[in-house]
A and B are shown apart, each in its own frame.
Chain A
Amino acid sequence: MRNPYVTPRAVLTGFISVAVGGFLGSLLRGWLTRTTQTNHSSFTQGSFSWHLVPWALLLINAAGVYLAVLLLGRLFAHQSYLDPTRLFLITGFFGGLTSYSGVFVALYAIWQVSHPASILVGLGGLLSGVLAGRMALARTGRHQ
């Protein structure tokens, strides 16, 4: 049976929404992480430094989870996946703004100098995402 929601028009509108949102989100992430990038002088010296931690990206990711939970739990609670505004914001913008692969690039740099530090930073990123999501969840009134 054909899905009544998946029309060519809805799919095409979705593509445009995701492309524009993804472009803006990626651009903002690039700008935020580049302007806050610290000179990782310790990288070549072979020792761990707190400057290696991708603070900006971890903050962006946690903020992205917080806002995505709020939006999905409130504004888009009854909207389908193919809603253009939802696709623009959630799939496109926040999808482009936040990044799993970017975390691995940063963790790889830390891995070169300290395996335990890399694992700890990775766990910190994971837990900050859970914490941010739970804080937003409490504001949506869900799971009370």
Chain B
Amino acid sequence: MIGMAIAGALGAMVRYLLELIGINAKANTSPWLTLLANAIGSFLVGTAMHSLVIVNGVVVTTNELIGFCGGLTTFSSAFAVPLLFEKRDRAYGYFLIFLTPALCAGAFFLGLSVHN
């Protein structure tokens, strides 16, 4: 579990690097870069599915890549940041919230197809 947590920390650091790219003059970052991190993580975890181990029906995910993707992707910021947009941007916030899983699902299936 320590190995997965270290991989998760690395994933979070890569997401931080990605989010740094879009930092603006007020030192805030773009939610689109969080979406990009989520899509990349979903793609990578899709590629890892071929190595998923199932023991007695239990899905055992000890793969470090899955730990890395867990840290790279974030559910909390993907919802919290758009929900806190100003009132005039509320529709844009919900658009981002519902676009994220759609794009991530597409990226996941794309990752799956790599090994199929």
Contacts and interface: CB of A to CB of B under 8 A. Distances in A.
A131 B19 CA distance: 26
Contacts of A43: 54, 57-59
A57 B24 CA distance: 33
Majority secondary structure, B binding face:
helix
Given A22-B71, A26-B4, A87 B87 contact: no
A26 B75 contact: no
B101 A19 contact: no
Contact of A23 (B9, B15, B87, B90): B9
Contacts of A126: 97-98, 101
Interface residues of A, number: 70
A39 B75 contact: no
Given A23-B5, A30-B1, A67-B76, A106 B59 contact: yes
Interface of B: 1-2, 4-13, 15-16, 19-20, 23-29, 38, 41-42, 44-46, 49, 52, 54, 56-59, 61, 66-67, 69-81, 83-84, 87, 90, 97-98, 100-101, 104-105, 108, 112
